[in-house]
Amino acid sequence: MRAVLAVDLLRRLFLFGPSDEVLGLALTAAESAGGSPALATAVDALRVATESGIDAGERWRIELAAEFARLMVGPAETPAVPYASFYLSPSRLVMTEETLAVRRRYLDAGVARRSDVRIPDDHLGLELDFVYFLEREIALAQASGDDDTAQALYGRRADFVRNHMSQWVPQLCCRRTGSDFARFRPGSGRAAIGIAA
């Protein structure tokens, strides 16, 4: 269950940015972060960055949110493109066959997105949301003693992370280096990569 909290923090960070809720979760998630040692260390780095930023005051939060938007949202060209298709397709375009392949993975797991969601399926936040779903389902299966289901879900999660996310998330994290978001980025980038460990 501990890894579920760490993945929840990451999915919220990449879907919603560094909101007050996400920053609060960063402060508490390190205490219960599980999964790989790399993930636990990275979540702790997020906690440390958040603590020092909060000590700097409200201006830090505003600057952090603005830098996150500049890097990952726009309106101008974003240095950190949060879509798998950008890194995995030869054309470096978004909404390619890679996006549809991710959608098929979601559907194969019984996960369907609402039609009013306008974010492409291969957005990092949505992929982390899928991993979060799988982590929760694994925890529920384990809690009910259904080891076969837990193993099948774990295999699905491992395949998605190993054969898909690990192929592009490290590239995204490298692109983000050198920004003002680096005050928060080391933990978020290492944590996103740490999911694969």
> Structural domain boundaries of the chain?
2-194
Phi, psi of 116 (to 5 degrees): -85, 0
Interaxial angle between packed helices 2-16 and 185-194, expressed in degrees from 0 to 180 and rounded to the nearest 10: 130
CA 185 to chain centre: 12
Which residues are within 8 A (CB) of 124 and not within 5 positions of it... i.e. 6 or more apart?
A: 14, 82, 83, 84, 169, 172, 192
The CATH superfamily holding the domain 2-194 is: TorD-like (1.10.3480.10)
Structure tokens at 79: 């240095």
CA 182 to chain centre: 16
Give the pLDDT of residue 193: 55
Query: Which residues lie across from 123 on neighbouring strands?
Result: 83
Q: Where are the alpha helices (DSSP H) in the chain?
A: 2-16, 20-32, 37-56, 58-72, 84-88, 97-108, 124-143, 147-163, 169-175, 185-194
CB 44 within 8 A of CB 33: yes
Which pLDDT tens digits describe the chain residue by residue (197 residues)? 567 888 888 899 889 988 888 888 887 876 665 556 777 777 777 788 788 888 888 888 888 888 888 888 888 888 888 999 999 999 999 999 999 999 999 999 999 887 777 899 999 999 999 999 999 999 999 999 999 999 999 999 999 999 999 999 888 877 654 554 555 555 555 556 556 44
Residue 3 CB-half CA count within 13 A: 24
